[in-house]
Amino acid sequence: MAEPRLSDILTIAEEELSRIVLDIHDGPVQYIFTALSILTGIQEEIAHDPAKADLMPDLARVAVLLESSLYEIKSFLGAFRPPEFRRRSLAAIIQGLVLQHEEATNTRVHLTLENVPETVALPVKITIYRLVQEALANAYRYAGVDEFYVRLRGEDGWLWLEVEDYGKGFELPDLDAPVQENDAHIGLRGMKERVQLVKGHFELYSRPGEGTRIVAKVPTYV
């Protein structure tokens, strides 16, 4: 029996992610919407009953918690809803991702695209997209700055990706060491593993106070 191709594995993974996103949207998100609607009705009724006025602060706190949960879930769904990888070019996909990140975080991403081929293998598109997504998310959470740099160029059948910030930096972890419980660097490990899956090379550069740079080199076709 033939082993499944890498492109099939990654495509199935993205399709499964799409299904999960839809399930969350059609399930928990709708329940929270309904709960907020019911709560609003209760607040309106209590507002006309002075005897129950002491309940209003608690109801207001519940409403805030529900609205915050809804916002976070919708932000998550927006971040992980896969783009149309097959139809769109890699350059267009990365441009859209950068714009989405800027709008969601109110930060600035300096994007440089150079000689990025129009045609790139599907597994490579997925890999580059997820690398940029994870790297920008990490930089936003931990770097302590509001400007980031993404550079993507094509050269001799390879794609070179760099994601850099001039923020706090950190001591380099051993990404080849066994995974520990509550591993703080699981995102970095995931990036390295993605690159290795498409027969690429992954490098991480960082020092406390000197920012962080992620470099990946992947073949255009696998």
Beta strands per DSSP E along 59-170: 108-114, 147-155, 158-165
Give the three-class secondary structure for 217.
strand
Within this chain, do residues 61 and 132 fall inside the same structural domain, yes or no? no
201 to 116, 214, 216: CA distances (angstroms): 18, 11, 6
- Tell which residue, 45, 37, 42, 41, has the closest CA to residue 66: 37
What is the percent of the chain with per-residue pLDDT over 90, rounded to a whole number?
A: 38
Within this chain, do residues 175 and 204 fall inside the same structural domain, yes or no? yes
Angstrom distance (rounded) from CA 221 to CA 204:
23
pLDDT reported for residue 32: 80
Angstrom distance (rounded) from CA 220 to CA 66:
44
Within this chain, do residues 67 and 125 fall inside the same structural domain, yes or no? no
pLDDT reported for residue 47: 80
Within this chain, do residues 115 and 213 fall inside the same structural domain, yes or no? yes
Last residue in a domain, options 18, 45, 80:
80
Within this chain, do residues 103 and 180 fall inside the same structural domain, yes or no? yes
Within this chain, do residues 97 and 183 fall inside the same structural domain, yes or no? yes
Between residues 77 and 130, which one has the greater pLDDT?
Answer: 130
Within this chain, do residues 98 and 141 fall inside the same structural domain, yes or no? yes
Within this chain, do residues 100 and 193 fall inside the same structural domain, yes or no? yes
Range(s) of the domain holding residue 71? 6-80
Within this chain, do residues 118 and 197 fall inside the same structural domain, yes or no? yes
Within this chain, do residues 50 and 18 fall inside the same structural domain, yes or no? yes
Which residue type, as a one-letter code, is found at position 97? L
Instruction: Classify residue 210: in a domain, yes or no.
Output: yes
Instruction: Classify residue 85: in a domain, yes or no.
Output: no
Instruction: Classify residue 1: in a domain, yes or no.
Output: no
Instruction: Classify residue 14: in a domain, yes or no.
Output: yes
- Cβ distance 173 to 166 under 8 Å? no
pLDDT reported for residue 107: 93
pLDDT reported for residue 211: 95
pTM of the model: 0.68
Instruction: Classify residue 214: in a domain, yes or no.
Output: yes
Instruction: Classify residue 66: in a domain, yes or no.
Output: yes
Our count of domains for the chain comes to: 2
Residue 21 has pLDDT above 70, yes or no: no
Phi, psi of 125 (to 5 degrees): -55, -50
Burial class (CB in 10 A: 0-12, 13-18, 19+), 11: middle
Within this chain, do residues 113 and 175 fall inside the same structural domain, yes or no? yes
Stretch 7-26: mean pLDDT, rounded? 64
Instruction: Classify residue 32: in a domain, yes or no.
Output: yes
Residue 34 has pLDDT above 70, yes or no: yes
pLDDT band of 30, cuts 50, 70, 90: confident
Instruction: Classify residue 200: in a domain, yes or no.
Output: yes
Kindly report the CATH number assigned to the domain that includes residue 108. Answer: 3.30.565.10
Residue range 149-208, pLDDT digits in tens? 999 999 999 999 999 999 999 988 777 766 655 555 777 888 898 898 889 999 999 999
Angstrom distance (rounded) from CA 35 to CA 103:
28
Last residue in a domain, options 33, 58, 80:
80
Within this chain, do residues 100 and 17 fall inside the same structural domain, yes or no? no
Q: List residues bridging with 149 in a β-sheet.
A: 110, 164
Residue range 79-115, pLDDT digits in tens? 555 667 788 899 999 999 999 889 888 999 999 999 9
pLDDT reported for residue 81: 58
The average confidence (pLDDT) of the chain is 83
